[in-house]
Amino acid sequence: MNEVHRQDSNRRTAIKLGAVVLAMFGFGFALVPLYTVICEVTGLNGRSSSLTGATAPRAFEVDQERTVTVEFVAIVSQGLDWTFSPEVPRMKVHPGEQHVIHYVATNRRHAEFVGQAVPSVSPSSAARHFNKTECFCFTRQAFGPGETREMPVAFTVDPRLAPGIDRLTLAYTFFELTDVAAGPVQELR
């Protein structure tokens, strides 16, 4: 009887451990969308809903008395053989004005490259006041071998930006998705 009791005890323990593993696995999958929602709501990590998808142009009253410097940064994911840079490193804008700048990317490989840029705005408290109406970051970008492309970003700084903030940084990190590109193209958020 002792052997039967031990087998039952081992079986219950194995079932409990299996349930814990499944729960941990499910929790791991739930973390990514949960983190994304938290970032969009709070502006954490420079992300907000205005950074992740096309929005209808919003009419702002232009604040001619205020100037904000917007700096543009391009980061190349480690190990990629290509160039990526903004056409201008910074510009002074009046909140409420619509502006368009371009980033330039060149695939220096002898093979096709598919990637996507992930944006961030700093300071993170200002992310919800940086509104992009057109951005190459909304979709995956496919480059042929040696191809160079200018990619536009249309943006407006919301006049409701906190008065003490006079400098914003828009940074893009471009990541390779060539191996992932075989599936349907989806917008990364």
Q: Per-domain residue ranges for the chain?
A: 44-176
Beta strands, E only, the chain: 68-76, 82-86, 90-93, 98-107, 113-122, 130-135, 141-143, 148-157, 167-176
pLDDT at 91: 96
pLDDT of residue 34: 64
pLDDT in tens, 156-181: 999 999 999 999 999 998 888 877 64
- 44-176: CATH number: 2.60.370.10
Instruction: Work out the mean pLDDT of the chain and round it to a whole number.
Output: 81
**Identity (one letter) of the amino acid at 31?**
L
Q: Is the pTM of this model over 0.85?
A: no
- CA torsion sign, 163 to 167 to 170 to 171? negative
Structure-model confidence comparison of residues 188 and 138, the more confident one: 138
